[in-house]
Amino acid sequence: MRHRYVVMTTLAGAGAAYMLLARPWHLRWGATDQESCGPLPGDDLLANPDLSATRAITVRASPDEVWPWIAQLGQGRGGLYSYDFLENLIGCRIHSANRIVPEWQTLEVGDQVKLHPEVPLEVAVVEPRGALVVRGGVPMGNTPPPYDFTWAFVLREQPDGTTRLLVRERYAYTKKWAPLLVEPVEAISFVMSQKMLRGIKSRAESTTVLPVG
């Protein structure tokens, strides 16, 4: 009985510490107060999200050099520049590219960006060299996702010639039980997102790319 009490108390303490300390940091990793709270393209698609995360990184390259890596995101395209081996454990068949592929540079509203061969997100906003926003969710078998979701990639040119790359996730719950799924997934998303940001940064900084379009 005493052992069970100790275990429960430890778990409760760990959960409280995560909610108070780690979770706020996860939800705005690398982002300033202004970037985290300010409006971004695609916010109007989900006006009142139940959960939002904004993460950012500085890339020592111009938006023209960063954008091609954003434009080719997706399974069957340039990949997600994160931990491919983890994504492939669940059958995503992701292979992150280390070069710009011209055939993957054209995106239009209504196109698909896939997370998995059977999980497409729809392109909702395309602003070349500025922003890409996709929308959708991950179904659970034949059950639709219990939330609406937008994923925005935004480039902001800085006075010193660098680029701030911001990535924002927004979730609007459509089922009462959605937080039970989304909250744990968001912790995993942090791990994958920070790796993605670093992956895009390293590729853009090591490659000179001619402007697209």
Domains, the chain, ordered by start: 30-206 (3.30.530.20)
Report which DSSP code applies to 143: B
- Enter the tokens of residue 135: 């929308």
Spell out the per-residue pLDDT of the chain, length 213, in tens: 544 443 333 333 333 334 444 678 889 999 999 999 999 999 999 989 999 999 999 999 999 999 999 999 999 999 999 999 988 888 899 999 999 999 999 999 999 999 999 899 999 999 999 999 999 988 877 788 999 999 999 999 999 999 999 999 999 999 999 999 898 888 888 999 999 999 999 999 997 443 433
Count of other CB atoms within 10 angstroms of residue 148: 18
- Give the model's pLDDT for residue 213: 36
Q: How far is Cα 71 from Cα 113, in angstroms, rounded to an integer?
A: 10
pLDDT at 7: 33
Of the CA atoms within 13 Å of residue 107, those in its CB half-sphere come to: 31
Task: Return the structure tokens found at 36.
Answer: 């985290």
Q: How far is CA 66 from CA 5, 100, 158, in A?
A: 52, 10, 13
pTM of this prediction?
0.85
Instruction: Report the distance separating Cα 28 and Cα 12, nearest Å.
Output: 24
3-state class of 73 per DSSP? coil
Give the pLDDT confidence score for residue 3 in this predicted structure: 44
- Hey, what long-range contacts does 202-209 have (CB within 8 A, 24 or more apart)? 203/69, 203/81, 203/98, 204/59, 204/61, 204/65, 204/66, 204/69, 204/163, 205/59, 205/60, 205/61, 207/65, 207/99, 207/100, 208/65, 209/64, 209/65, 209/68, 209/100
